[in-house]
Structure 1
Amino acid sequence: MTIPVGPAELEGELVIPAEARAVVLFAHGSGSSRHSPRNRFVAERLRQAGLGTLLFDLLTPLEADDRANVFDVYMLADRLVKATRWLRGGHADLRFGYFGASTGAAAALWAAAAPEMNIGAVVSRGGRPDLAADRLPEVSAPTLLIVGGYDEVVIELNQKAEHLLGGPSQLAIVPGATHLFEEPGTLRAAADLARDWFTEYLTPGGP
């Protein structure tokens, strides 16, 4: 489907299982897109738990050619906010969550800080929350920060970010994982952590 965000139109894939009570919007990291195999794997695990998912590109192909746009967290967050408003217009009965990876996690946290978004939960995988540091105290949504055990620099960044968040938060470290969670079993572990977090905070009765 095509998602209007001001003058731009973004490509996306929306899947909402029958009886779904919530939908999770994905914000991918730098150099990635809605075709990211890692995000698609996580999205499938969420759908198996009865959650809807929206995988979409935060930039048009032309915009993505400019590397400055890839790291423009304010612009990416603005796109996420507009996509959320658009989706909520047709699915006002659902609760909403954000899943962000790498720089996309910063965009997700930045967008979640806007109180009118009413985001129910946020999950960051290998995220750079430091890029949204000024907004973290305004994030009241329960936030899970997932980091690989070998991703030492990003662990430190997430530890600092956890203390700045304005709502409930948890730092989960996946043993044996590097930044991209390419090691056997590590991506599944991260996906299951995300699934349990979203089902706890977005659906009645929890997991």
Structure 2
Amino acid sequence: MAEVKVRDVEIEVEGVKLPGRLGVPERCKMLVMFAHGSGSSRLSPRNNYVADILRKSRLGTLLFDLLTEEEDADYERRFDIPLISKRFEQASKWVMKNKELKDLRLGYFGASTGSAAAMVAASKFGKRISAIVSRGGRPDLVLEVLDRVVSPTMLIVGGYDLDVLALNRRAYERLGCEKRLEVIEGATHLFEEPGALDKVAELATEWFLSHAK
């Protein structure tokens, strides 16, 4: 399969312009929207690594900033879950109205606090969201919405990321949808160990493809 061209896009939500990077393969099976964690951005090397692998399996990817440069400079804004959740929800609506993208199945990939934003949005869009993957995420930050998430959800956590693993087990119990908890042995929070991020990408690809039918 030829390499997919990734291009810059601008997502306008309530007067704020959020820069993003969009890659849509031919015969795209699903568009996966990435919700990055606090202090990260559309340029996150880990998320882009996963996105590159997803596109090889005809999964489109959209990585975008949830905060403007000015907002991101305010440390507290990075952890403003209601704000980043609202932005992610609004960006999802932008995708759903976009001529090129509106007919594609939609999936969410959340990392760290971005997983909380993805869960909040998924709780509002119901079955419009085909699948969710969380990498080292914090869905526990929004426990109150998890019972309203109906999208098949996979939580991926590093085996050495003990605190986050405990929090994910708690969140997992609250989910009433099809769900799976994958623990990658020997991996820490950032999945920096050899092969760890490849395993994340492999699991995510499998999960999205299995729910793209």
Q: TM-score range by the shorter chain?
A: over 0.9
- Are 1:142 and 2:142 an aligned pair? no
Higher mean C-alpha deviation, range 159-168 or range 176-185: 159-168
Structure 2 unmatched runs, 5+: 1-8
Rounded Cα–Cα distance in structure 2 between residues aligned with 1:200 and 1:117: 15
The 8 Å contact of residues 160 and 189 in structure 2, kept in 1 or not, is answered as yes
The aligned counterpart of 2:204 is 194
Q: Secondary structure at the match of 1:114?
A: helix
The match for 2:123 among 113, 137, 141 is: 113
What TM-score do the two structures reach when normalised by structure 1?
0.95
Aligned to 1:23, what secondary structure does the other structure show? strand
Relative to structure 1, the CA distance from residue 115 to residue 2 in structure 2 (aligned partners, 3 Å threshold; closer, same or farther) is closer
Alignment equivalent of 1:35, drawn from 43, 47, 54:
43
Which structure 2 residues correspond to residues 114-129 of structure 1 after superposition, within 5 A?
114-115=124-125, 118-129=128-139
**Secondary structure of the structure 1 residue equivalent to 2:62:** strand
Q: C-alpha displacement at 1:116, in angstroms?
A: 5.6
What does residue 54 of structure 1 align with?
62
- CA change 1:64–1:117 in 2 (3 A) is farther
Range moving further from structure 2, 86-95 or 49-58: 86-95
Deviation at 1:117, TM superposition (A): 7.2
CA–CA separation in structure 2 for the residues paired with 1:101 and 1:183: 17
State the 1:166 CA deviation: 2.4
TM-score, with length taken from structure 2: 0.93
- 8 Å contact from structure 1 (residues 112, 119) kept in 2: yes
1:72 counterpart residue number: 80
Q: Is the 8 A contact 2:127 2:151 kept in 1?
A: no
Contact 2:150 2:178 in 1 (8 A): yes
How far, CA to CA, are the matches of 2:148 and 2:49 in structure 1?
30
Count of residues in correspondence between the two structures: 203
Separation of aligned partners in 2, 1:100 and 1:152: 19
Where do 5+ consecutive residues of structure 1 fail to align? none
Contact 1:81–1:117 (8 Å) recurs in 2: no
Is 1:9 aligned with 2:17? yes
For 1:120 and 1:54, the matched residues in 2 are separated by 15
